[in-house]
Amino acid sequence: MIHFVGAGPGAPDLITMRGAELLRKADCIIYAGSLVNPALLALAKEGCSIYNSAEMTLEQVLDVMRAKENAGLETVRLHTGDASIYGAIREQMDSLDRWGIAYDDTPGVSSFCGAAAALHAEYTLPGISQTVIITRMAGRTPVPEAETLEKLASHGASMVIFLSAGMLPAVQDALLRGNYTEQTPAALVYKATWPEEKVVRCTLGTLAKCGTEYHITKTALILVGDFLRPDSYDRSKLYDPGFTTEFRKGRPE
Ligand code: SAH
């Protein structure tokens, strides 16, 4: 059987218990070597065969999966963060479906959660934004026309931009054409949860400049929105003494 596993954002102890157990039992591990922390491979049992998918094509990955399956072995396909975000898992699953090979999928902590933790941030601050937009800037890989950064920025929602730290001037321009201003808070989080993590807080007007100053060009997330401004939000209704919920009766003011 094939087990897709989310490795988490970097720190090896941020994999789930289920993911770690699958790694311990695996006969074969195919890991995304560009971003998965190799420290996780220490969980592999003796004799486990290990492949780095960063150096492989989809066809080569599938060939390994099929060969291991035919030999009755267990394979873990280890993706960075959570595999549902830019993980290219669908194309693997579709091929496995065609061949009748069984698989399951164990979620992981995505880097956008790791970045929020590093910033002590809450994306969904009452009175500020109740929406998180996860996206990327078009580069060598296209983005649908309806989802350009400029269009998405028109919402003024909390935004997390993947795969775009190498294009900061263009990201900044596109966001400024939407509903953000030069003063909108922004942040760059490089290698969230890794020992070499860097957290840079700035404004949208200084985003590209800060990227240059802190030498951040890859393996980083760009976060934008007023959720990063610590002083302006409403308190939650859920924990408000005057608000009745299913579990707690509110006191009259
Ligand atoms: N599936 C992954 C994303 C893979 S796409 C996830 O859920 O996190 C690769 C991009 O993710 C990188 O270019 C970078 O933008 C972001 N990324 C992955 N790990 C990161 C980390 N630890 N810190 C900051 N950004 C990270």
Q: Are residues 119 and 101 part of one domain?
A: no
pLDDT at residue 38, as a whole number = 96
The verdict on 117 and 223 lying in the same domain is yes
138 and 219 part of one domain: yes
pTM above 0.75, yes or no: yes
Give residue 182's domain range.
111-228
User: Chunked in runs of 10, what are the mean pLDDT values of the chain (253 residues)?
Assistant: 98 98 98 96 98 97 98 98 97 98 98 98 95 96 95 96 98 96 97 98 98 97 93 82 88 74
User: Number of folded domains in the chain?
Assistant: 2
| Residues in contact with 52: Cβ distance below 8 Å, sequence separation at least 6, in sequence order | 30, 31, 33
DSSP 188: E
Domain boundary among 58, 84, 106: 106
pLDDT, position 253: 63
- pLDDT value of residue 95: 98
Kindly state whether residues 159 and 192 are assigned to the same domain: yes
Mutate to test the pocket of ligand 1, among 31, 189, 221, 222 (most ligand atoms within 8 A of CB): 221
Residue 10 structure tokens: 């970097």
The answer to the question of residue 117 being in a domain is: yes
Pocket of ligand 1 (CB under 6 A): 9-10, 35, 79-82, 85-87, 110-111, 114-115, 162-163, 189, 191-194, 219-221
Contact status, residue 220 vs residue 188, Cβ threshold 8 Å: yes
CATH code assigned at 135: 3.30.950.10
Q: Are residues 129 and 224 in the same domain?
A: yes
Helix (H, G, I), strand (E, B) or coil at 218: coil
The CATH number covering residue 73 comes to 3.40.1010.10
Residue 237 lies in a domain: no
Strands (E), the chain: 2-6, 28-31, 49-52, 75-79, 103-106, 132-136, 158-162, 185-190, 198-203, 220-224
Say yes or no: 146 and 224 in one domain.
Answer: yes
Task: Determine, yes or no, domain membership for 239.
Answer: no
